[in-house]
């Protein structure tokens, strides 16, 4: 078997090896996504583990998702949100999305000077983005999700996804132009 859809079909029938393969295939990207919501590694690992435990427990009721990665990201986001809701001692009034702060810091894959410079600049260029914009940029450009998947994941209309990404990229362009023009980031 080399197809994730085949792994999924076998997993829902109780195949532990295929379940383990799906876990191994998606663990790193799920952890990277979860790190955008919290710096607490224990919380992150627990959230990913909870997701897979719930999948295994409910395997007989699961349907074949069109996109397994998207399905897992959405389930993880819901798991994190539910854990945050449960841990909150006070009643929260507002949109669920406002509970999830999203930190768009790119992971370095090497230790060279250009990577350090990129890390610095990317943080500075993104500082003005809202948490929703940061998450949309991450999902679109890093995780290669489409507009419909992002809209569903963020619980917004597809037109909202277009606007969110457009505004995010417009804001980044302004910062880049100012940086090129003045050699510094404009902080207002």
Domain 102-182: give its CATH architecture: Orthogonal Bundle (1.10)
**In the chain, domain spans:** 4-98, 102-182
Write down the number of H helices and E strands in the chain.
Answer: 8, 0
Tens digit of each residue's pLDDT (9 = 90 or more) over 109-155: 445 555 565 566 666 677 778 888 888 888 888 888 999 999 998 88
Domain 4-98: give its CATH architecture: Orthogonal Bundle (1.10)
The pTM (predicted TM-score) of the whole model is 0.65
Tens digit of each residue's pLDDT (9 = 90 or more) over 8-59: 999 999 999 999 999 999 999 999 999 988 888 988 999 999 999 999 999 9
Alpha carbons 139 and 67: distance in angstroms, whole number: 14
């Amino acid at each position: 078997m080399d197809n994730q859809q085949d792994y999924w079909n076998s997993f829902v029938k109780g195949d532990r090896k295929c379940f383990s393969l799906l876990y191994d295939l998606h663990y790193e990207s799920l952890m990277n996504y979860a790190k955008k919501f919290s710096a607490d590694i224990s919380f992150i690992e627990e959230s990913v583990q909870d997701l897979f435990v719930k999948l295994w427990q409910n395997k007989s009721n699961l349907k074949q998702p069109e996109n397994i990665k998207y399905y897992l990201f959405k389930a993880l986001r819901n798991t994190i949100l539910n854990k945050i809701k449960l841990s909150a001692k006070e009643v929260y009034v507002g949109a669920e999305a406002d509970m999830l702060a999203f930190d768009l810091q790119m992971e370095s894959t090497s230790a060279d000077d250009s990577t350090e410079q990129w890390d610095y600049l990317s943080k500075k260029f993104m500082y003005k983005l809202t948490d929703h914009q940061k998450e949309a940029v991450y999902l679109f450009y890093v995780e290669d999700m489409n507009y419909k998947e992002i809209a569903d994941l963020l619980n917004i209309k597809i037109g909202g996804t277009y606007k969110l990404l457009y505004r995010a990229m417009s804001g980044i362009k302004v910062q880049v132009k100012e940086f090129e023009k003045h050699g510094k980031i404009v902080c207002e």
